[in-house]
Structure 1
């Protein structure tokens, strides 16, 4: 059973919501970031980039402390406010042909530990510790973990009823995304939501594996340092955004390699023939449309690669993933790329126009060969998580990408101590 709890969110004042919320820091170009910081004093970017105020680059614990200070300033200046009672927060996102509606809730660290919240990616210990120290210092969580649950008619009915009310927020940001948010404070509705999620056996992490792992690490350290630990402290939970599986959008990452590992074009194609039926598509842009089929761009021409299934063994859910097949048949044995996360010879790209960008980069000579794949499915992600397996890096690009600053979960509690993750 999945445990979800309402919480008293810190969130923007109604008239400032559209100015406060920000995309992921890495999503901004340097020019756009500087313009936003210069001309929008309410942007959440001022909190997460506190050095701008002093025209100084700050890092590490100095940055963490200044983030805390900027956060407190936003509260003192009434840019942000704290809700008086515990709520769930229904949040709808719409852009072009994309729409999803889910729930901001406090989700359980214990569920993450015992496998009710399931993962499909590895995390890096160094990053876990860094973010746990960040959370301990700033004492708030502004970036929810994106999780999915099976489509459930009873939950959908509750959400549809709540959406009949006027939303607390209704605004469109400059990237033409429309945002609506409904706080849910009615105790009967809150009880219904908690009961419905208690009947769900598993939640699946779609985006935010390091946030989960860091919250788990912080909870473990906090519990050991708190002699009055009760299990009800805020550090026992982290903020999640829960949406039905049908409203997750999954895109593929393409791969580009710098060289052919010392092989000529002809030698490379001969090596590929061991695992694939190869068709030269010439200059006609080609993208695969089925699992176990791949596109390739090499030396000004597109190719289709059809996996020879008798030459490759399917042994578990991981072995059936196209990203794993590409790794085991081409990237590792032929191109000599063993470390998909750190090898500088491989680069990843996503997006509907990425095939053209890939072609352009290869034509310029920046890369030698590129591969296109079809997107993975939610069922494949669940199969990997259920089997306690781990996907290769950059197997999925998932939407929605959530904003920072719309709802903030506070980690501070009265007996809070100065804990350090080591």
Structure 2
């Protein structure tokens, strides 16, 4: 009879552990990347096979209660949450983010990222998000090398569209004003171009400084044949010079223009110079690269996020902050989003908790009923023992 007390106690302890796990799941229903768990139960039996029945057949061993076999993690994907933050990332497919906490590596599906005051990419717990280098090394992700975009001197300016051929008397001249030029020290300037029709499909081009009353910087000749620019006269160079800046050569390329009777719509197509720019925005692409935008319109690319994969879920041990540690015998491989068997990244989203409220409330009721049943066993056994003592006391 006293064994019944131990059996009831094992039920109380087991269901109490189950209630603890259910309550932890419910408490983390809003924790990004959290993986819920479920307690596993196992029956306890007597050792030795029990007693023999009247006909010599062994009697089934009496049970000794319940034991817990540990919590089993549920690694199904969590809910998709749209955050609007371009740095937040959700993994569409396999893989886990790699973070460094107190010098140790952790693994998580939580992608709530931001750059801290030291321009290091961190998650919501302050763990340093890791990049994978071309040499296979894991390093912190930082914006230190992407703070600015240096100026570049203008060497070539290209033009496109049409320059009207001579269909009027006197000939119609054309101008293109405000052509940007960047000097050797990163200063920004403009030049103006004027086109003089000299007959025979030829034009004299005069380059003047873009300031009011600007000086002439150079001249050149363009030639067209059959409406197309001549190979030998479709470009020319001039020297740009201004106070405090050494002179430098700029090429004006008209090889993509035409010379037809249509209206003149000649315009600058591209220029290879740029002023210096500062970083104005940073995002993470679906391939895991850090992408930045500068104030001069240029773009830059930084490090690439690392993703990790494990052979089996048993290689992971749950840690705090929706993160996991690798077991001593666990094998891990690293790679990039969108390659091999690794999933792609979805910017502006993050993976929420995978806790199912309906399922957890059902488990809560089951654990509660189990706890109540075990307590009733103990209460009933106590009453029976008390009655036995009372019977012995009155004999």
Q: TM-score range by the shorter chain?
A: under 0.3
State the TM-score, normalizing by the size of structure 2.
0.22
Q: Which structure: greater strand fraction?
A: 2
Task: State the TM-score, normalized to the length of structure 1.
Answer: 0.21
